[in-house]
Structure 1
Amino acid sequence: MSERTATTAAGDTPAPTRARLLSYGVGSVGTGIFSTVPGLLLLYYMTDTLAVPAGAAGLVVTLPKAWDAIFNPYVGAASDREAVRTGRRSRLLLVGAVLLPVTFAAMFLSPATGSGAVVWISVAFVLAASTFAIFQVPYVALPTEMSPNPVVRTRIMSWRIISLTVGILVAGGLAPAVVSLGGKGRAGYALMGLVVGAVLLVVLTVAARGTRWVVSRPGPEQLSLPAAFRAARGNRAFFALLAAFVLQAAGTAVMLAAAPYVATYRLDDYGLTSVLFVCLVAPSAVAVPLWSKAAHRFGRLRCLLFATLGYAVGSVALLPVSAAGNVPGTLALCALLGVCYAALQLLPLSLLPDTVVADTDRTGHTQSGAFTGLWTAGETAGLALGPGAYAVGLAATGFVSSTFDHPVAQTALARTGLLLGFSLVPAALLLASLPALFAYGRRRKESCR
């Protein structure tokens, strides 16, 4: 059957063939890059290149993201309005694809240090987060509309998560390497911002143009934003899943923010930042299809619970190994964590469309944009809370900021504090997500009765 004639059981939406899945999935290369690079490098860029105090740097990486909690739901409502009017979500996708690369590069082009850098990066980060939302919110809404079949939606998510893994690998491996290639310091970060911005422009534009085949049907009539929120409020399974996902995103984001500090101050080599990151993420590329098969056999929720516990245990094990400066042991543990990380990315996103479909049965409205607006707002909040909490920990343990040309030796307490954010703090956040996952399981069973 050709792509031109293939259709789903739902009728007028073409089937998600391999070529179409690839065109959709490549967008996650871009979302993975944007979700990773600021969390990995922005805090370190401010404290160790622009001499921004750790406390102020923590506010910079946290407060702009708080804007997303307000802005993203409005983007979701706008996406649903476009879908009602045109039957597509393509326009917002293309706007975000064009604007995000510019605002991303601006974050790493600060002409000032200290307080001037705080102002510049805060404004640039707010703009970047906003343009990211314009792309991400309709993008996350598409799988629900690609197929009515949960098995097919899990397949769609597998393509997306593999692409996301590629994006995260590009971000974690390429970005620090380009910084080093550019001479480190401000020149290195400026070069990195421009190079990564160019990559974002290509992959996001391909996804925006390559998903115009998806037919969007948000419901028999458009709900206003307040009405959509009132309808969403009754979807308790969605909010339980969202709570777990936010906590897990915060846990992985804390570890991400800690990586360059641990590489520099515990393993004595900033260049290991890329290696740590690749060891953490590369196994995901292999593990995603394995988790997909396991989820089909044992159940998605059960596999997610197992992966959550595994990630928490592995994080705790990092404390004594990294404290001893054991590079091979640290890298090996990061690789094991990467296997669990694949499930933390794949399985919540494969469960999300189920909550939207179940809500359609309850309310008669498929408000995919409204739900994904709430989801991406929660995701960005978690990704911001991680570096923000880590910065607070740095400040509390006496970490001293510096410029690249004038580095500062850190106290034993500061060196211990930066290591805790790489080990025990992520473990605590992952364990804290377990009650929400159990609540999701109960709510899902109730909705099936």
Structure 2
Amino acid sequence: MSEPLTRGVRLGYATGSVATGAFGTVPGLMLLPFLTDNLGIGALYAGMIVLLPKAWDVILNPIAGRISDRTVDPRGPRRPWLLRGGLSLAVAFALLFAGPSLGPGLDAAWVLFWFLACATAYAFFQVPYVAMPAEITDSYDERTRLMSWRVAILAFTIMLAGASAPAIRDAIGGRDGYRVMGLIMAVLITLGVIGTYFGTRSAPHTEVAPGTGSLGDQLRIVSRARDFRLLLTTFVLQALATGCMLAGVDYVAGDVLGKQGTATILFVCFVGPALLLTPLWARVGVLIGKKKGYVASSLVLAGGAALTVIARDAPNWAVFAAVGLIGVGYAGAQVFPLAMLPDAAAADAARTGENRVGVFTGVWTAGETLGLALGPGLFALMLTLGDYQSSTTGGTDQPESAVTAIVLGFSLVPAAIVLASLWWLSRYSLTSSPDPAPEAEDLPA
């Protein structure tokens, strides 16, 4: 059993969530409104622009994991990629919202190209980053503590980026508002990348031989890891639900609640509770187990989402309270799966003596990316079905059908998805330190 990680290593690793939080939040929150309400792109086409680069990541992430598994470097196999992928991501993100006004078609092409570049760079940062906990500690409980640090900083970054991005846009206004916002977020990403690269320089890492066979062979082995498969399915469905709600924040604020600045308040209510409750959820996991904690937080998340169906008729404070309940559940629904993933990957390494951590995390982040991309895509589909009216100036009066679609896409639809995900979670069985004895379903055919 490895020694407990130092406070410096925990903080250094967690700092990487500044980069993942900023990139994971701002496009999901801002890109769809940017396309529909500033570039005049129809909701369905805008949803495709948001989805396609993320779909590319589904293919690329396992490849990035395989490459990092086989990287030989005195700094460790993962840390070089933190710097390479992270700094490339910052540059591409700054350019994403910085395009000249060339007309809807060329503007859409600019966004698609640079969002694809962002997705590619992000894969080579995120996959090695998520793979690291399985290699820097073999302690089942230490991974929960490590993830609680990561999720606390992730929640702070999500709140900072998610609250400030619309505020910066609104303060400056128009396309320039988006351009300045993109540049500031790129700087934030850079700070997170540099912080985690230098902050993990003293982190231990186990030396495990890279997995043998082709990438396809390893993916087939990973797919037979029953607990990993169940956990991944649960997490992807919940990422879909979260992505759908995230995409809806700006629309709920502008078209349902109808007050400028409300988007920032909604977002703070969404992620603010995580700053206070992440350590509490970590303690819950130690007391009752990660699986039970994940179920409990998921039920709170679904309940809060369902309550926001009142948004059209209730006073704003009631909507803010319901979104705050979402935030309570969201905190736990981030802590537990991220703490359970290294358990599944480490169990495979313990059974086989081969390092497939990168492939596991590549598949994981591919699934997460797909879920977070399908969320805005699903919300864009709801807008299309509701006859949402796109424009180049924003502030267009929407038909009742569009307002109804916005409310349902933010509330009952994601709540139903979260509840459905619990069927897969109920079958998950890895609830203690990995047993080196192989499960029959985990062995190659």
Which of the five TM-score ranges fits, normalised by the shorter chain? over 0.9
The aligned counterpart of 1:417 is 405
The aligned counterpart of 1:368 is 357
The aligned counterpart of 1:314 is 304
The aligned counterpart of 2:184 is 195
Mapped contact 2:69–2:210 kept (Cα < 8 A)? no
Structure 1 stretches lacking a partner, 5+ long? 1-8
How far, CA to CA, are the matches of 1:269 and 1:209 in structure 2? 43
- 1:393 corresponds to 2:382: yes
Shift in Å at residue 442 of structure 1? 7.8
Matches within 5 A, 1:287-306: 287-306=277-296
Call closer, same or farther: CA 1:66–1:218 in 2, change over 3 Å: farther
Matches within 5 A, 1:28-107: 28-83=17-72, 87-107=76-96
Aligned partner (choices 119, 124, 134) of residue 129 of structure 1: 119
Call closer, same or farther: CA 1:196–1:86 in 2, change over 3 Å: closer
The aligned counterpart of 1:206 is 195
Matches within 5 A, 1:207-222: 207-217=196-206, 219-222=208-211
Call closer, same or farther: CA 1:31–1:446 in 2, change over 3 Å: closer
CA offsets per residue over residues 343-369 of structure 1, 9 Å max, x none?
Answer: 011000001111011112332213111
Letter paired with 1:360: A
Mapped contact 2:93–2:186 kept (Cα < 8 A)? yes
Shift in Å at residue 217 of structure 1? 3.9
CA offsets per residue over residues 96-138 of structure 1, 9 Å max, x none?
Answer: 1211111112111122342222211111111001111111110
Letter paired with 2:158: I
Call closer, same or farther: CA 1:20–1:83 in 2, change over 3 Å: same
Shift in Å at residue 444 of structure 1? 8.5
Identity %: 40
The aligned counterpart of 2:275 is 285
Letter paired with 2:421: S
Shift in Å at residue 26 of structure 1? 0.8
Letter paired with 2:226: R
Q: Secondary structure at the match of 1:388?
A: helix
Mapped contact 1:32–1:164 kept (Cα < 8 A)? yes
Aligned partner (choices 241, 256, 262) of residue 272 of structure 1: 262
The aligned counterpart of 2:313 is 324
The aligned counterpart of 2:342 is 353
Shift in Å at residue 80 of structure 1? 0.5
The aligned counterpart of 2:237 is 247
Matches within 5 A, 1:124-203: 124-182=114-172, 184-203=173-192
Structure 2 stretches lacking a partner, 5+ long? 440-445
How far, CA to CA, are the matches of 1:365 and 1:445 in structure 2? 18
Aligned partner (choices 417, 433, 436) of residue 424 of structure 2: 436
Call closer, same or farther: CA 1:444–1:113 in 2, change over 3 Å: farther
Please give the TM-score of this superposition, normalised by the length of structure 2. Answer: 0.94
Mapped contact 2:22–2:188 kept (Cα < 8 A)? no
How far, CA to CA, are the matches of 1:81 and 1:371 in structure 2? 14
Mapped contact 2:137–2:205 kept (Cα < 8 A)? no
Q: Secondary structure at the match of 2:397?
A: coil
Q: Secondary structure at the match of 2:426?
A: helix
Provide the alpha-carbon RMSD of the alignment.
2.0
How far, CA to CA, are the matches of 2:178 and 2:338 in structure 1? 32
Shift in Å at residue 234 of structure 1? 2.0
Aligned partner (choices 427, 441, 444) of residue 415 of structure 2: 427
The aligned counterpart of 1:110 is 99
Shift in Å at residue 218 of structure 1? 5.7
The aligned counterpart of 2:442 is none
The aligned counterpart of 1:23 is 12
Call closer, same or farther: CA 1:394–1:161 in 2, change over 3 Å: same
Mapped contact 1:157–1:349 kept (Cα < 8 A)? yes
- 1:119 corresponds to 2:109: yes
How far, CA to CA, are the matches of 1:18 and 1:440 in structure 2? 31
Equivalent pairs counted in the alignment come to 435
List, as ranges, runs of 4+ consecutive aligned residues in structure 1 with deviation greater than 4 Å: 83-86, 442-449
Letter paired with 1:341: Y
How far, CA to CA, are the matches of 1:73 and 1:155 in structure 2? 26
